[in-house]
Chain A
Amino acid sequence: KAGVTQTPRYLIKTRGQQVTLSCSPISGHRSVSWYQQTPGQGLQFLFEYFSETQRNKGNFPGRFSGRQFSNSRSEMNVSTLELGDSALYLCASSPLVVDTEAFFGQGTRLTVV
């Protein structure tokens, strides 16, 4: 069974640009969550989606958005990139919305210059 796939793995963008990251969950998993990891703040929750609906959103500015498609694949978008958005972005999938193990992807490392 294929794991969680995130694309691209690495990305370099310029300040002010926008970026879209993709996450393909494990087959059959309908819940996808996104996280940001930085050296200063550690891991922080961004969004949670289940069956194309955003269930929860972390404390991030409106420049951060996401969506989930009918096949459970998810994308997150960051507009007007800032240097501080440089981070490892991780997604995780799980079959249900509560009390199940989460399976993480390898992450997308975004560098904003």
Chain B
Amino acid sequence: KNEVEQSPQNLTAQEGEFITINCSYSVGISALHWLQQHPGGGIVSLFMLSSGKKKHGRLIATINIQEKHSSLHITASHPRDSAVYICAVALWGSQGNLIFGKGTKLSVKP
């Protein structure tokens, strides 16, 4: 069993739809990251969470430490949101020692 599980693996949505991507983990963590990767490889950090909820524009991320679960929500989705979204957890005492989920490939159709 993978230590970080994401669902769904693939997601197709119509422009304007509300999108949720889920991440569950089984290890003790100090923080959880949501990352976005576009074709070509570059990764952008969207959020880093250790508790609660964060919001940037149309993106919202939540984490429940007790349940070891996090969600990434995209409101009013747009074709430019099409990308792979990756959940990664940071082990205690290490910023860089990340365990990654396999990613969710999102395609938003106009």
- Determine if A113 is an interface residue (Cβ-Cβ < 8 Å): no
Complex: A58 Cα to B91 Cα, angstroms: 12
Task: From known contacts A42-B100, A43-B86, A44-B100, infer whether A102 and B41 are also in contact, taking CB-CB under 8 Å.
Answer: no
Return B91 CB to nearest CB of chain A, in Å: 8
Could you tell me if B96 and A94 are in contact, using CB atoms closer than 8 angstroms? yes
Contact B100 A96 (CB under 8 A): no
Residues from chain A with Cβ under 8 Å of B43 in the complex? 90, 92, 104, 107
Write out the residue numbers on chain B whose beta carbons fall within 8 Å of the beta carbon of A94: 95-96
Q: Kindly list chain B residues whose C-beta atoms are within 8 Å of the C-beta of A100.
A: 48, 95
Q: Is A56 an interface residue (CB 8 A)?
A: yes
- In the complex, how many angstroms separate the beta carbon of B65 from the nearest chain A beta carbon? 14
Q: Could you tell me if B94 and A48 are in contact, using CB atoms closer than 8 angstroms?
A: yes
Question: With A and B bound together, what is the CA distance between A97 and B93 in angstroms?
Answer: 8
Instruction: Check B105 for interface membership: any CB of A closer than 8 A.
Output: no
Taking a contact as CB atoms under 8 Å apart, the answer to whether A43 and B94 are in contact is: no
On whether the beta carbons of A97 and B45 are closer than 8 Å, the reply is no
In the complex, A48→B90 CA distance in Å?
12
Determine the chain A residues whose CB is within 8 A of the CB of B45 once the complex forms. Answer: 101-104
Interface residues of A in 38-68 (CB under 8 A from B): 42-45, 47-48, 55-56, 58
Interface residues on A, range: 20 to 34
In this assembly, does B30 line the interface, its C-beta being within 8 Å of a C-beta of chain A?
yes
A102 touches B96 (CB 8 A): yes
A92 touches B96 (CB 8 A): yes
By the criterion CB–CB under 8 Å, are B100 and A33 in contact? no
Interface residues in B37-66 (C-beta closer than 8 Å to A): 40-45, 48, 50
Cβ–Cβ contact B100 & A98, under 8 A: no
Q: Which residues of B contact A103 (CB under 8 A)?
A: 45
Inside 8 A of B48's CB, which chain A residues have their CB?
99-102
Smallest beta-carbon distance A100→chain B, Å = 6
Q: Measured between alpha carbons, how far is A32 from B96 in the docked complex, in Å?
A: 8
Please tell me if A81 contacts chain B, counting CB pairs below 8 Å.
Answer: no
> Complex: how many Å from CA A102 to CA B100?
14
- Pairs of residues from A and B, 4 with the lowest C-beta to C-beta distance, nearest first: A33-B96, A48-B96, A43-B100, A104-B43
